Amino acid sequence: MSGQTPRSATALYATAATCAAIGALLWLRSRTSTASSLYLYGSSPDGGSYKPSAWRVWSPVVPEERLGMYLLAAALVLALAARLVATWRE
């Protein structure tokens, strides 16, 4: 009943938040791959200077959208595990 979260639960929460943030960014990146929805470096839509990034985050076998969803699912599992650790240690 001390009210303080154990360090292991805090680490799990932090890892879950990181996975959720990266997963959401990857999912959004896969959704906004057209020039009309995302302008980089102040370019205009008629400029024709927009080119999607060729940098791959993961293997070509796993698309970024799927990797983002996997990371979001992992974040949910880690958050649930953190909650269980926090209640178990009380």
- Is 82 part of any domain? yes
pLDDT 10s digits, 35-87? 444 444 555 555 555 555 666 667 778 888 889 999 999 999 999 999 999 88
Total tally of structural domains belonging to the chain: 1
- Is 38 part of any domain? no
Domain that holds residue 90: 1-33+64-90
**The predicted structure's pLDDT at residue 20:** 95
- Is 54 part of any domain? no
**The predicted structure's pLDDT at residue 2:** 56
Amino acid at residue number 24: A
Regarding pTM above 0.85, the answer is no
Q: Is a pLDDT exceeding 90 seen at residue 19? A: yes
- Is 79 part of any domain? yes
- Other Cβ atoms less than 10 A from the Cβ of 68: the count is 23
- Cβ(73)–Cβ(26) below 8 Å: no
- Is 57 part of any domain? no
- Is 50 part of any domain? no
HSE of 65 in the Cβ direction (CA atoms, 13 Å)? Answer: 4
- Cβ(9)–Cβ(82) below 8 Å: yes
**The predicted structure's pLDDT at residue 1:** 45
- Is 74 part of any domain? yes
- Is 88 part of any domain? yes
**What residue has token string 């796993």?**
62
